[in-house]
Amino acid sequence: MTGDVMALPTGDAFEPGHATHAGMTMGVEEEYLLVDPVSHRVVSGAGDAVRHAEAALGDMVTTELGQCQVEAQTPPCTEAAELRRQIGRMRASVADAAGAAGASAIACGTAPLDGAAPLRVTGLPRYLSQSDTYRGLVAEHFICAVHVHIGIPDPERAVLVSNHLRPWIPVLSALMANSPYFAGRDTGYASWRRMLWGRWPVSGPPPYFPSLEDHDRLVDALSDSGALVDRRSLFWDIRPSTRYPTLEVRVADVPMTAEESVLFATLVRGLAVTALHAVARGDPGPPLSPDLLRAGCWRAARDGLHGQCMDPVTGGVTETGAVVDALERHIGPALEETGDRRLAGTGLRRLRAAGTGADRQRAAFRRRGRLTDVVHLLAAQTPAGDLG
């Protein structure tokens, strides 16, 4: 199917008298790669960088699976402006800490120059257990994502909201695509991270769950199968958080700039607010075929904002720009409710004009044909860049 995206009901989700969600919290976790400032290849200095960053960020910064990865998170925020300040502070602190450890921090979905040699795993019990269980998958895990936490304390409701968010995974992935290069080559994809991550046993779009009981039953079975090291190894794109009273949305590459992370978080919150109103009306959400959804995610990972994308209603394909327009219409009332309408609209226009992170990486490469220029761009944009 091509053409306009099928219309989605929005207006009746916001009838007078319904509870509002203007104060719904959102928090952001970002993962970064550490690279040598001269060779631009990844370096294993996460332990030192985290120790330096803890002076500013405390326990909001930590190591990750690879010794070349740092993860940091914001506190929960209700206002987009505050989230922007927190992400800016977080990125600046990580960049400074990386510099103190003799490295640069880059926000990129994959390592542009690395990936052929096995990842050096951080020596903590959980990560060593993952290495033992997942083996070669860990060896190539030079990837970084952004995770958005939306404050939904009720796990049952969080699962029902997930059903409504599933169809939008492809376009969200396309908007934030930021990993065209891996191991020294152009992969031909806008988000190669998504393809690498999709090989893990429990990853990609979550199933459609009629209830929390159905969700928990499947998770128990997956755990019994040995596919999970622990509940935190449930790597679906959307999941009730195992650590916080939130719904965690994990669909996207870590964006190149803080501005994009804020945009992404506001879009996710807009979808969650829209879904909460639908759940309150008894709308179970569209049970979109998991195979169609997985195919849609593949197409989005390959093409980014260029070409076609999955229609969130029919599962067919249509112009990606039309799906972005449909997303903005679908969550428009929710964005009004949260006060993010202008920010999201402006952010989407700026992103479409500037191109995704993948587009900007390729533009940097085309100037001289050097991947080191791509890494240099990422290192410059990570702490202080924007789409302007």
pLDDT band at 385 (very low <50, low <70, confident <90, very high): confident
**Does residue 119 register a pLDDT over 70?**
yes
CA distances from 22 to 1, 269, 276 (A): 36, 10, 12
Residue 170 CA to residue 165 CA, distance in Å, equals 10
**Does residue 12 register a pLDDT over 60?**
no
C-alpha R_g of the chain: 20
Residue 57 is predicted with a pLDDT of: 98
CB 164 within 8 A of CB 220: no
**Does residue 178 register a pLDDT over 90?**
yes
Class of domain 11-378 (CATH, top level)? alpha beta
**Does residue 35 register a pLDDT over 80?**
yes
**Does residue 54 register a pLDDT over 60?**
yes
Residue 230 CA to residue 49 CA, distance in Å, equals 27
Answer left, alpha or beta for residue 110, where phi above 0 means left and psi between -120 and 50 means alpha: beta
CB 90 within 8 A of CB 30: yes
Residue 19 is predicted with a pLDDT of: 60
Give the mean model confidence (pLDDT) for residues 49-58. 98
Residue 20 is predicted with a pLDDT of: 65
Q: For 68-96, b where at least 16 C-beta lie within 10 A, e where not — what string?
A: bbbbbbbebbeebeebbebbbbbbbbbbb
What residues does 186 pair with on adjacent strands?
181
**Does residue 342 register a pLDDT over 50?**
yes
Which pair of tokens denotes residue 161?
A: 């909201």
Q: What average pLDDT is seen over the chain?
A: 93
Q: For 307-324, what is each residue's pLDDT tens digit? A: 899 999 888 899 999 999
Burial of residue 294 (number of CB atoms within 10 Å: 0-12, 13-18, 19+): middle
Residue 13 is predicted with a pLDDT of: 38
CB 372 within 8 A of CB 335: no
Q: Which amino acid is at 171?
A: V
Q: For 57-104, what is each residue's pLDDT tens digit? A: 999 999 999 999 999 999 999 999 999 999 999 999 999 999 999 999
**Does residue 47 register a pLDDT over 70?**
yes
**Does residue 388 register a pLDDT over 80?**
no
Residue 5 is predicted with a pLDDT of: 52
Answer left, alpha or beta for residue 316, where phi above 0 means left and psi between -120 and 50 means alpha: beta
Residue 226 CB neighbour total at 10 angstroms: 9
Give the mean model confidence (pLDDT) for residues 246-263. 98
Residue 74 CA to residue 94 CA, distance in Å, equals 12
Query: Which sequence spans correspond to the domains of the chain?
Result: 11-378
Residue 314 is predicted with a pLDDT of: 84
Answer left, alpha or beta for residue 226, where phi above 0 means left and psi between -120 and 50 means alpha: left
337 alpha carbon, distance to own chain's centre: 23
Dihedral (C-alpha) 229, 232, 236, 240: value to the nearest 10 degrees? 140
**Does residue 3 register a pLDDT over 70?**
no
CB 169 within 8 A of CB 276: no
